[in-house]
Amino acid sequence: MADNTFYNEILTEHNMRPLYKHKLPEANFTLEGINPNCGDDIILNLKIEDGKIVKGSFEGSGCAISQASVDMMLDLVIGKSKEEALRIADLFLRMIKGEADEKEIEELDEASILKDISHMPARVKCAVLGWHTMKEIFEKHDAGEK
Amino acid sequence: MKNFNFKYSDNDIRKDFPLISQTGLAYLDNAATSQKPYSVLEAVKNYYEKENANPMRGLYDLSIRATEAYEKARKMAAEFINSPETHNIIFTRNASESLNLVAYSYGMEFIKEGDEILVSITEHHSNLLPWQYVAKKKGAVLRFLECESDGNISLETFKKAITKNTKIVAITHISNVLGRKNPIKEFTKEAHAAGAVVVLDGAQSVPHIKIDVKDLDIDFLAFSGHKMLAPMGIGALYGKSELLEKMPPFLYGGEMIESVNRDFAVFAQVPHKFEAGTVNAGGAVGLTAAIEYINKIGFDEIEARELYLTKTVFDECKDEEHVHIVGSQKPEEHHGIITFTVDDVHPHDIAQILSSENIAVRAGHHCAQPLINHLGMMSAARASLAFYNTRDEVLRFCEALKGLRKKMGYGR
């Protein structure tokens, strides 16, 4: 039987009452991420200034895991430098692959509740959608695009 | 529901299915694949222990026995759907391969620029994508039969969609999302009057209702063994003789020829013309055992049990304001397929939470993305029932459904 301990208050709270689900007119980077299997569809908005994530939000719809994951991600990366956000993202992605150790995972705070997704291949794409979208934004940022 | 009088008790049936009788799993994903009874598993084992040789090749006794076992399966499959002759059955891997066979062999050979191929919006991708390909390659027009919100495609809609240019009607018998059965006999009459052939996707109908290809008068029927108790990897295509005879082979290779020269070959008779390479004799033997099992239970019993279970779900959910059953609101129009949504709970979360309660349902677009979009959804969850499911299992499913929103943090 699958272990679904991540359907807990932290996840349902981020899903029902997300902190960062709103429009962000001042964003200078906006990118859509789609997971066709699930039908998850999010738009990630970031305001990046001097290599720092000043503000962030998301819009769209999807399963609780995709929604909560992106909300928890924004909670972790807003106020951080792009490099630091990238390091956290890589740590999260390693956790989802089952490659991060307990101590590293602690650093992910609430997002660590998704660690059991590593045993659920069908849900991996939901959990990583926001994180991959953020990494793509950074690539565009580095390439000087908007 | 006292008016149901079943021939078999739940236990009579369930003791035959190791996977569901030995676990507490409520397996409600039967439209994806069925579970297998001991008789099928033993038949396959027995074939490989006692009869295994390459069919149709060897001159020794063992190969002859393998050939007989394989050809017996063809005869069983033919009788099962009331095919006029045994040779109308071509063995394939599954319904998808059967549909591809028709598209590549019949479609690519006989469809011309400007011809129309009519499909329904309710098709599984298996009966849509091959026709998209043929239409694109041949410059033909792919047209859609739209369904109403309850899944109904009326004869009027069908008549309007058929034109003098329609050459193929590719349609499902029972939708894998809505469970709705199309009036195929009536559609076929109209299609034939316009000069079109009818390709029927029977993946969801052949396991659950009695099919009579002579009565329906369809030109092709595709179905999978694995959805009707047989192993994965064996399926069939029924085709009318005059069509199969004029169609070119689909796959080329061993055992589908009469003679081969340096630059040409004479192909074998139907059905062997379409069965290149070593066949799945073990799978075919499993299909024989599956058909024998279904015949023993009988379609009257299968349909009655599945309707009873479907009605149970409808009754349990009728007062649940947040649970919505997609398609018709009449259980008898669902053939055991119940696609549903729960307000504010994404289908993938539904399936995951039900899984933690040892209930298996499917979630997603069910390989019918155009239909899901047509119905204004992104995805949905689906419970699909089989005759070996029980009232207790569906009640457990309904109870879990009622608790879902609470689990996700909503008041009720």
Total count of domains within chain A: 1
**pLDDT at residue B229 above 90?**
yes
pLDDT of residue B365: 84
- Split at pLDDT 50, 70, 90, the class of B364 is confident
Parallel/antiparallel/unpaired status of strands B197-201 and B362-364: unpaired
Q: Check residues B180 and A116 and name the one with the higher pLDDT.
A: B180
Average pLDDT, rounded, for chain B: 95
Which CATH class, in words, describes the domain spanning B10-30+298-407?
Answer: alpha beta
Quote the minimal CA–CA distance from A10 to chain B in Å: 10
Topology of the domain covering B41-294:
Aspartate Aminotransferase; domain 2 (3.40.640)
Whole-angstrom distance, CA of residue B125 vs CA of residue A82: 42
pLDDT of residue B340: 97
Which of A2, A39, A61 is opposite residue B352, by nearest beta carbon?
Answer: A2
What CA–CA distances, in Å, run from B68 to B58, B86, B279, B288? 12, 13, 13, 12
Whole-angstrom distance, CA of residue B184 vs CA of residue B191: 10
Q: In which domain, by residue range, is A77 found? A: 18-141
Per-position DSSP letters for A33-68, written without gaps between them: EEETTTTEEEEEEEEEETTEEEEEEEEEE--HHHHH
Quote the minimal CA–CA distance from A40 to chain B in Å: 8
Quote the minimal CA–CA distance from A39 to chain B in Å: 6
Task: Round to the nearest angstrom and report the end-to-end CA distance of chain A.
Answer: 45
Residues 364-403, chain B: which have Cβ within 8 Å of A?
364-365, 378-379
A77: in domain: yes
- Split at pLDDT 50, 70, 90, the class of A1 is very low
What is the pLDDT averaged over residues B298-319?
A: 97
What CA–CA distances, in Å, run from A34 to A89, A94, A127, B344, B368? 18, 21, 12, 19, 18
Query: What is the CATH number for A28?
Result: 3.90.1010.10
A94: in domain: yes
* Chain A residues with CB within 8 Å of chain B CB: 1-4, 7, 9, 12-13, 15-16, 37-39, 41, 61-65, 120, 122-123, 126
pLDDT single digits (tens) A87-110: 999 999 999 999 999 999 999 999
Whole-angstrom distance, CA of residue A28 vs CA of residue A141: 10
Chain B residues touching A12 at Cβ < 8 A: 407-409
**pLDDT at residue B75 above 70?**
yes
Whole-angstrom distance, CA of residue B15 vs CA of residue B140: 51
Phi/psi for B103 (5° steps) reads -65, -50
pLDDT of residue A145: 65
Burial, B314: exposed, middle or buried (Cβ in 10 Å; 0-12, 13-18, 19+)? middle
pLDDT of residue A49: 94
Chain A residues touching B344 at Cβ < 8 A: 16
- Split at pLDDT 50, 70, 90, the class of B80 is very high
Q: For helices B38-46 and B281-297, what crossing angle results, to 10°?
A: 150
Task: Centre a 10 Å sphere on the Cβ of residue B127 and count the other Cβ atoms it contains.
Answer: 28
- Is A126:A119 a contact under the CB 8 Å cutoff? no
> Which pair of structure tokens corresponds to residue A136?
């793509």
A12: in domain: no
**pLDDT at residue B2 above 50?**
no
pLDDT single digits (tens) B34-69: 999 999 999 999 999 999 999 987 789 999 999 999
User: Rounded to 5, what percent of chain A is helix, strand, coil?
Assistant: 50, 20, 30
**pLDDT at residue B234 above 60?**
yes
- Provide the whole-model pTM: 0.92
pLDDT single digits (tens) A3-34: 566 788 999 999 999 999 999 999 999 999 98
Binary contact (B358, A1; C-beta < 8 A): yes
Binary contact (A7, B348; C-beta < 8 A): no
Task: Round to the nearest angstrom and report the end-to-end CA distance of chain B.
Answer: 28
B294 CB-near residues (< 8 Å, 6+ apart): B80, B207, B228, B229, B302
B367 is catalytic: yes
pLDDT single digits (tens) B311-351: 999 999 999 999 999 999 999 999 999 999 999 999 999 99
Quote the minimal CA–CA distance from B359 to chain A in Å: 10
Task: Centre a 10 Å sphere on the Cβ of residue B253 and count the other Cβ atoms it contains.
Answer: 11
Task: Centre a 10 Å sphere on the Cβ of residue B9 and count the other Cβ atoms it contains.
Answer: 9
Stretch (H or E) spanning B396: helix B391-407
- Is B183:B201 a contact under the CB 8 Å cutoff? no
Q: Please tell me the least confidently modeled range out of A47-56, A114-123, B128-137.
A: A114-123
Whole-number percent of chain B with pLDDT over 90: 90
B45 CB-near residues (< 8 Å, 6+ apart): none
- Is B116:B110 a contact under the CB 8 Å cutoff? no
Binary contact (B355, A61; C-beta < 8 A): no
Binary contact (B352, A62; C-beta < 8 A): no
| Domain residue spans of chain B | 10-30+298-407, 41-294
Which of A3, A38, A41 is opposite residue B348, by nearest beta carbon?
Answer: A38
